[in-house]
Structure 1
Amino acid sequence: MKVAFLLWLILVVVYDFRMRRVPNWLVLAGVALALTALALGAGPLGHDWRAALLGAGAGFAFLLLFYATGLMGAGDVKFAGALGLWVGLPALAPIWIVASLVAGIHSVLWLALRRWPVFPQLALMLSGPLRATESGTPVRRLRIIPYAAYLALVAAAWMVWGRQS
C-alpha cells in the first residue's frame, strides 16, 4: 500500500501544481485507498483506525477555518482530511508544520519576485496557471499557493525518510 500512497501523492502534487486545485475524484480515490489499507492492516505508517479517524478529522477541521476565511481552497481542506486517514494524527502535525513552512517560502518568494522582477518567468510560474473569464480574457487564480501539493510532498518525504525505525 506504500506504493499506492506514493502514487496518490504524486497525482495530487502534479494536479495541484498545474491547476491549483485538487479535484474531488482524486480526494475520494485517496480516501478509498486509505480505508482499504486500514481494513487490511496495511497502512503505510502502521497506525490504527483511531489515529486515522482523528487525523482525518483534525486535518479537515483545522484547514476548514482557513477555507472559511477565504485563505485556502476547498480541495486543500478535503485533501488534508484524506491525508489524515493515511498518516494518522501523530504524523499529521509535523507534516503540517513543514508544509506550511514550504508554502510560506513559496509566498515570500512570489511576493519578492512581484516587487523586484529579477526573474519574471519564475514569478509567473509561482503564481499558477491562467484561467479564462466569461469574456475570454485570461486572468490568474486568486490562490497562488498549491498547499495540497506541499502537504503531499512533505507526507511522501515523511514516509520515505522520516520514519526510519
Structure 2
Amino acid sequence: MAHLLSTSIFFAWATLVAAGDIRLRLVRNSLVVVGLVAALASALVNANPFGISAEQALIGMLVGFVGFFPFFAFRVMGAADVKVFAVLGAWCGLSVLQWLWVVASLAAGVHVVVLMMLTHTPVGALWSHRSPTLALGTRRATPYAACLVAPAAIWLTYLVVTGGV
C-alpha cells in the first residue's frame, strides 16, 4: 500500500511541476520541498517507486544538485530546474539521473527547434547577447523542469506496467 501511495505522490508531484513550468515557467519552492520530503520518506520506509534506498536517494539528491548548480551559477538554467533535478535524484537515484538529463536535454532541444520553426526565428539569433532568443512574455520559452519530470514519469509508468520494481 505504501508503494502505491508513493507512486501516486510521485505522479502528482511530477504533474504539478510540469503544469506550473509549462503554464507559468514557475515551480514553487513549496512544491520542491514536498517532492523532496516525499522522496526521502518513501525511500526510508522502503516504498520508493523506483526501488532505491534512503542512501541512494541522498546520493542522487546531492549529485543532482551539485551537477546542475554550475549551470545556474553561469545563468544558463533557472534555480527551479536545479532544485527539481535534485529532487528527481532523490526519487530516482543516481543510476537513472544521467539518463533523465540526456532525455530531458533532447526534449528541450526538440522544443527549441520546433519553436524556432513556428516563429521563423533565424539560427543566428541563438548567439544574440540581448534578451533570450525564445521567450514567452518575460519568461524563457523552454520549460526545462517539465522536460526533466516527463521522462521520469514515463520511466515509472514503464516500471509499473512491467512490474519492474
* Correspondence for 1:120: none
Matches within 5 A, 1:99-138: 99-115=104-120, 127-128=135-136, 130=137
Task: Output one character per residue of 1:85-129: Cα deviation in whole Å (capped at 9) or x when no partner.
Answer: 000001111111111100011112222333269xxxxxxxx843x
1:153 matches 2:158 = no
Q: Is the CA contact (8 Å cut-off) linking 1:54 and 1:88 kept in structure 2?
A: yes
Task: Output one character per residue of 1:25-56: Cα deviation in whole Å (capped at 9) or x when no partner.
Answer: 11001011112111211001111122211211
* Correspondence for 1:137: none
User: Of 82, 86, 91, which aligns to 1:86?
Assistant: 91
| Structure 1 unaligned residues grouped into runs of 5+ | 118-125, 131-139
* Correspondence for 2:19: 14
Q: Is the CA contact (8 Å cut-off) linking 2:40 and 2:58 kept in structure 1?
A: no
Q: Is the CA contact (8 Å cut-off) linking 1:52 and 1:88 kept in structure 2?
A: yes
| Structure 2 unaligned residues grouped into runs of 5+ | 1-5, 123-133
Task: Output one character per residue of 1:63-95: Cα deviation in whole Å (capped at 9) or x when no partner.
Answer: 111111111110110111011100000111111
Work out the number of aligned pairs and report it.
Answer: 146
TM-score, length-scaled by structure 2: 0.82
Cα drift, residue 162 of structure 1: 5.4
Q: Is the CA contact (8 Å cut-off) linking 2:40 and 2:54 kept in structure 1?
A: no
Matches within 5 A, 1:70-81: 70-81=75-86
* Correspondence for 1:4: 9
Q: Is the CA contact (8 Å cut-off) linking 1:21 and 1:76 kept in structure 2?
A: no
Percentage identity across aligned positions? 40
Cα drift, residue 60 of structure 1: 1.0
Q: Is the CA contact (8 Å cut-off) linking 1:99 and 1:154 kept in structure 2?
A: yes
Runs of 4+, deviation exceeding 4 Å:
none
* Correspondence for 1:43: 48
Q: What is the RMSD of the two structures over their aligned residues, measured on CA atoms? A: 1.8
TM-score, length-scaled by structure 1: 0.82
Q: Tell me, in whole angstroms, the C-alpha distance in 2 between the residues paired with 1:162 and 1:96.
A: 19
